[in-house]
Structure 1
């Protein structure tokens, strides 16, 4: 699964999601993912800032697993 497929799955769950690349940030935090709402709950919020899109994807998948959601179910 890539980040676009995961974001598509998240919007189907009623969540909002942002995936951002920012060349002005330090090299270790140039990629960011934020997800909230929908199936995660109204007051939910997840954010990770990492060096690569793959690291952001893995953090998000780990978070979803702990929240009891999985795009693989």
Structure 2
């Protein structure tokens, strides 16, 4: 699953999602994902800052699994 497919799935679940690359940040945290609301719960908020898009994607998939959600189900 790529980032676009995952973001589409998240929006289908009613979540708000942001995937950001920021060249002004330090190299170890240039990528960020924020997901909130929807199937994660009204007051939910998840954020991860990582050195690569793949690391952000893995953190998000791990978080979704912990929350009992999976785009693979």
TM-score tier by shorter-chain length is over 0.9
User: Where in structure 2 are there 5+ consecutive unaligned residues?
Assistant: none
Q: How many pairs are equivalent?
A: 73
Give 4+ residue runs of structure 1 displaced > 4 Å after superposition: none
2: distance between equivalents of 1:62 and 1:54?
A: 12
Q: CA RMSD in A?
A: 0.3
**Is the counterpart of residue 8 in structure 1 residue 8 in structure 2?**
yes
**Is the counterpart of residue 60 in structure 1 residue 48 in structure 2?**
no
Q: Provide the TM-score with structure 1 as the length reference.
A: 0.99
1: distance between equivalents of 2:55 and 2:70?
A: 17
1: distance between equivalents of 2:4 and 2:54?
A: 12
1: distance between equivalents of 2:31 and 2:65?
A: 21
**Deviations 1:8-40, CA, capped at 9 Å, x for gaps:** 000000000000000000000000000000000
